[in-house]
Amino acid sequence: MLAVTLEEIQRDPRAVLERVRLGQTLLLTEGEEILAEIKPVKKQRPIGLSKGRFVVPGDFDAPLPDEILKRLQGGE
């Protein structure tokens, strides 16, 4: 990952965004502190890509068994 300073972004934001557009992930820094990671957005997957490969069980929204609930709540 490449580092880019806040000053660089203020000076030439289009140049910085072009680097992202080309696929680079940048770390936004101010002094020695890393403030953010700027990365390209992945292309959205088409809706229905996995249609028919997964079936939601009929009891999907049924309450969890008591033993699992106890464990999730910190009990044994």
CB-facing half-sphere around the CA of 66: CA atoms within 13 A: 0
Predicted confidence band of residue 76 (pLDDT cuts 50, 70, 90): low
Map residue 23 onto helix, strand or coil. Answer: coil
CA distances (Å), origin 73, targets 31, 41, 64, 66, 70: 43, 37, 12, 10, 5
Radius of gyration (Cα) for the chain, nearest Å?
Answer: 23
Convert the pLDDT of each residue in 31-63 to its tens digit: 889 999 999 988 877 888 888 888 889 999 999
Per-residue pLDDT at 54: 85
